[in-house]
Amino acid sequence: MKSKLRIVPIAVLLLTSIVSCVEDLDFSQFNDLQATPSYEAGILYLEAPESVINLVNGTNVFSRNFNFDAFSSDIFADRVLDGVITFIVENTTSKELEVTVQFLDESDTVTDTEIFLVQAAPTPILKREIAYGNSGRSIDIIKTLSTIRVSAINLGDNTSVSNLSDPMITVKSSGKFRVQLK
């Protein structure tokens, strides 16, 4: 029995000695973590059929302010770093049009203007990417964006009708922005 009991200190030693090493960990590395995801989504889609354009007397087809608070909300404005807004303007009407997109802040001050001059159909789709932040335009334009104003001027006549099916002018837009979550 005595010899058998010799195993006791060995076992105890084994059990206790295994409570041994914890290599150094540096939890401060967490401070280096950068979470700067990029998110993208559609912003505004506008379409105006040629029949509506032809109904308008004069050249000012329409001009309308659209409230848009997505970017000025704190959860976004406090974190956005930079990004790109993409516009796609397509004109299948028979007339040349000038489409103007303006960004306004809360006090209705125009902070950015983009003008699209589109020829009568057939014309290629006009795509324009506008960068904000970094070497692009000021990111503050995005942070303070409260209203999008879209206006269109008819540079042609108001009687002709395109022979394309369902002729219209469309303005598509999407945004892709990098935000600092941490």
Q: Which residues contact another protein (rule: CB under 8 A)? A: 1, 4-5, 7-8, 11-12, 14-15, 18-35, 37-49, 52, 55, 62, 64, 66-70, 86, 88, 148, 150, 170, 172-174, 176, 178-179, 181
Nearer to another protein, 25 or 75 (CB): 25
Residue 114 CA: distances (Å) to CA of 9, 39, 57, 72, 171: 83, 23, 25, 20, 12
Nearest distance, CB of residue 140 and another protein, angstroms: 20
For 171, the enclosing helix (H) or strand (E) is: strand 168-179
- 3: which DSSP letter? H
Shortest spacing between CB 138 and another protein, in angstroms: 21
DSSP state of 31: G
Given strand 110-118, what is the order of strands in its sheet?
Answer: 60-67, 147-154, 97-104, 110-118
**Which residue, 27 or 135, is less far from another protein as judged by CB?**
27
* Of residues 47 and 108, the one with the C-beta less far from another protein: 47
**Where on the phi/psi map is residue 170: left (φ > 0), alpha (ψ -120 to 50), or beta?**
beta
CB of 115 to another protein, least distance (A): 19
- The minimum distance between CB 148 and another protein, in angstroms, equals 8
